Structure 1
Amino acid sequence: MSGEPRPSLGCVGAPRLLAGLDQAARLDRVAHLTTHGQMPRYRPEELVDLAENIDLRGRGGAGFPFAKKLRSVMRSARAGDGQTAVVVNGSEGEPSCLKDTALLLHTPHLVLDGALLAAAALNSEDVVVGVTRRDVEQSLRQAVAERGPAGRRVQVTLLPERFVTGESTAHVNGLNGGPTLPSGQKVRTSDRGLNGVPTLFSNTETFAQLAVAARLGALDFRATGLPSEPGTIMLTVAGNTVVETPSGAALSYILELCGTDPGQGVLVGGFHGKWLTPANARAAEISRESLDRLGARLGAGAVMPLPMDTCPAGEVARVTRWLAKESAGQCGPCVRGLPAIADVLDEAIRGGGKPALEMLELRMKAVLKRGACSHPDGTSNFVASALRTFPDEFRDHALGSGCGRRVLGALPLYEDDESPERLLVDWTLCRGHGLCVDVLPDVVRLDLDGFPAEASMVVPRAQRQKALRAVRRCPALALRIQD
């Protein structure tokens, strides 16, 4: 990630997850205990009941009930040898999300509290936090050192920064020493995850909410927010401001608090989310029920208003191209389908006419429910939502008149992902030695014959040094890096 952006923080009402940050920029162990107090003990059944009573759900995007995850891991452990693990997903694979980064930078002990509480209930020996930022890694390692011996192994692992790193099987594959790519198999981490044992996998905010609820108890936790969705929610607004708000707050008020408004529309849920029209954004509340009624979902909590002075079609095309480059490269819908969607979308907004828009619809449908992970579906649905929300914009561009506005980059992307370097294979020289995949497993995949599966592969910034080493180690001199 270029520049490692640090979010500004805000609250609606009294903070819970962000409590104490008015006194210090980062809560060390002493400040954390002063603010929150000691963590109580919970028996396994009590922790499940707590999660169920407050309707705690995963805050990484899917919103799966946390109590069901706990029960599933317990059930798998009983069916096996009893071993379990806990994994905290501290990666946020897209630039629109910074809430978990904010928690890990400013209140890391709250996250560790929740993870260790769950580990105690599951009798897990290992707690592993997977992150993608160096500053977050440093903050967590410092927090682990501040706690001293915890009775359980707490590890912090740095993974590659890519969009699919947060997918559960990709994340666990990376922690297990393999490529950080989705497995493509329908294997639940609750059955087989870290080191092959049943694993409780959830994101940073979920564990922080669990730690707050364990201290407050279900009744006091439910005193804030909606009766049907109690507690607070962390949002990232416009890619730069993290806000903690009670559920049920008006979206328009959150935008106003952050110095903005619905503009031409609001993307909710990140780059795999849905667009709200300005009218719907003004009517929306921060809750599952409200957003469901409007055809959207909160997902990982990203809220991105589109200003009036930028081109919606161009912004959507820019993000679609980035999503295509973030492909895991494991299946046809990702490798070929997403670039094809980006190409046809570019053609359409450059005046490709009605045939280009019709072809775009066909390309979007062609990738649905065919990918090794949900990335093709999410990308296709993002474009489809934009076409429904800005129909006149896309029609005018396709017919040649356009909107006359520049593309300002209002939807945040990592700066150095606009023109990433690529690793190129010279097929006239390659002899299939396979050393490149040993050095660069997150970039290079081999086909059944032992040769690189692709001739051109994106090299994330964090992988550049390994890519250079792969080029130097190739005995056939068949690799090179191109800007």
Structure 2
Amino acid sequence: MNSAPLKLPEMRWLRPSRLTLGLDRHQRLDVAAHTRAHPPLPRTDRAGLLALAEAVGLSGRGGAGFPFARKARAALATADRTGTAPVIVVNGAEGEPASAKDKMLLARVPHLVLDGASLAAAAFGASEIVIGVASGSPGETSVPAALAERALPCPARTVSLPERFVSGESGALIRGINGLPVTPAPLKARAADGAAGGVRRRPTLLSNVETWAQLALAARLGPEAYASVGTAAEPGTTLLTVNRPGTDALVVEVPIGTRLGPVLDACGLRPGAGVLVGGYHGAWLRPSDAIDAPLSRAGLSALGGTLGAGAIVALPDDTCPLGETARVAAWLAAESTGQCGPCKRGLPAAAEALAMLAAGAAEPAVLEDARCALGAAQAGGACSHPDGVARFLLTALDVFSEDVDAHLSSPGCGRPVHGVLPLPPSKGARLEVDWSRCAGHGLCAVLAPDLIRLGPHGYPASATVPVAPWQEHGALRAVNQCPALAVRLRRRA
């Protein structure tokens, strides 16, 4: 597979190269190239692996940053109590449009990821390894090929999941592995508890792709060498996806604690109007804060940010920040599963308010309503989706406050929306308003309140609204009962 072209971001690294070792010479490291790049994987027992993870402070690299050792101990406690072998799950269902690091790892260095998973499987006596990948991603071919090239301590399989934002949520991933709809569980349950929320009712240790690769590096290097870069509290390196307007993103490996300014410089970028850190569940930073922001969880948290999945977008000065934010807000609202109040009511209402604000059609009261809805969404959802979206939108309103004022007092800031924040191609359904027919009856907003919000003059605030699958019933009611036949539902493949 070394010669097979892979549509993946360009790689860069600020020394040292660890996760990216060998990628300056190979497009993909098969088992032979992997063996030449990395020394043999040392064997370790259960206590030794837990001690290693604690010594290097290994935490999840998918967004939440939960300590790996604590998660492993919880799964092992259930396994000991029930006499059931645990399951190892590699979460590669990367549905974040601004992030490509996990796809890169699975496609180009799959054996490094499998090393970490097999190390844990052997030490913890696992019954199975399951690797979740996004449907249509390079990992669908790269991972099975890697599994065929090597021996593992237990059976392993790959499961393809829909490339949706919520597919990478741990409960949604496990439901997908179990053959259920890939949606967050209606009731929160820990994968470590087994019967409540694990794979085939077994205690499950689930971690992100990069986390497993980092575990393999730590085992080879040992705690002291592993901690030779990074910070005292967060040793090692991390992967970032740096998005660049008008061209492909870069996946960059940097020591944890590196300042954001030099990373942007290395990628040919400037902070512009503001910098998004952590992707669409992350937070916006002002340009003055972004330059010296340390790329660590603690460092970004002190600035009101979050490292999250490591996705970074620097917003140029020539695009409308609120228009960019409104595009993503509408997409994030449609990506929810509508299982709880914040996703069913709060996020669509906030997205509609942002659309009105971007269009210069919002009153201050509308903006305050959106802030209240987002505040209520934080920590109130069935999963972390509402909380992450609220952080993304509330920090945008704060960082771009001057633009908010301009859009409230005039038709807008005068800048176009260039679509700098990456989104996947439009799919699914959209509700469209035909302005030549609309008479402002307002019935559509009564029948589909999750989708349509009326502007100050009684007309729908947006001409097109994304429709999530759980919203289609309300959308059809609005279409069928519109007195002026002004509302249409368009479906896209």
Aligned equivalents of 1:298, 1:249: Cα separation in 2: 12
Structure 1 residues 267-293: Cα deviation after superposition (integer angstroms, max 9, x where no partner):
111111111100000121111222122
Shift of 1:261: 1.3
> Alignment partner for residue 59 of structure 1, among 58, 61, 72?
61
* Amino acid of the structure 2 residue aligned with 1:16: R
Partner residue in 1 for 2:11:
9
Partner residue in 2 for 1:316:
325
Where 1:283 maps in the other structure, the secondary structure is: coil
Where 2:149 maps in the other structure, the secondary structure is: helix
> Alignment partner for residue 137 of structure 1, among 137, 140, 145?
140
Matched, 1:245 2:254: yes
* Amino acid of the structure 1 residue aligned with 2:186: G
Aligned equivalents of 2:218, 2:235: Cα separation in 1: 11
Where 1:190 maps in the other structure, the secondary structure is: helix
> Alignment partner for residue 338 of structure 1, among 331, 347, 359?
347
Residues 23 and 29 in structure 2, CA contact (< 8 A), matched pair in contact too: yes
Unaligned residue ranges in structure 1 (runs of 5+): 424-442, 446-451, 458-479
Shift of 1:401: 4.4
Structure 1 residues 175-210: Cα deviation after superposition (integer angstroms, max 9, x where no partner):
000000111322110112111111100000000000
Structure 1 residues 199-256: Cα deviation after superposition (integer angstroms, max 9, x where no partner):
1000000000000111111111111222221110100111611000111211010111
Higher mean C-alpha displacement, 355-364 vs 387-396 = 355-364
Residues 356 and 398 in structure 1, CA contact (< 8 A), matched pair in contact too: no
Aligned equivalents of 1:293, 1:367: Cα separation in 2: 22
Partner residue in 1 for 2:111:
109
Matched, 1:383 2:383: no
* Structure-2-length-normalised TM-score: 0.84
Residues 263 and 278 in structure 1, CA contact (< 8 A), matched pair in contact too: yes
Aligned equivalents of 2:177, 2:103: Cα separation in 1: 19
1:80-479 → structure 2 map (5 Å cutoff): 80-134=82-136, 135-147=138-150, 149-192=151-194, 193-238=198-243, 240-351=249-360, 352-417=362-427, 420-421=428-429, 454-455=473-474
Higher mean C-alpha displacement, 171-180 vs 4-13 = 4-13
Partner residue in 2 for 1:460:
none
Where 2:193 maps in the other structure, the secondary structure is: coil
384 and 5 in structure 1: CA distance in 2 versus 1, 3 angstrom threshold? farther
Percent identical pairs in the alignment equals 47
* Structure-1-length-normalised TM-score: 0.85
Where 2:271 maps in the other structure, the secondary structure is: coil
Size of the aligned set, in residue pairs, is 430
Aligned equivalents of 2:376, 2:298: Cα separation in 1: 30
Higher mean C-alpha displacement, 323-332 vs 136-145 = 323-332
Partner residue in 2 for 1:429:
none
Aligned equivalents of 2:126, 2:472: Cα separation in 1: 38
Aligned equivalents of 1:188, 1:182: Cα separation in 2: 12
* Amino acid of the structure 2 residue aligned with 1:217: G
Shift of 1:481: 7.6
The structure, 1 or 2, with the larger RCO (C-alpha pairs under 8 Å, 6+ apart) is 1
Aligned equivalents of 1:288, 1:453: Cα separation in 2: 39
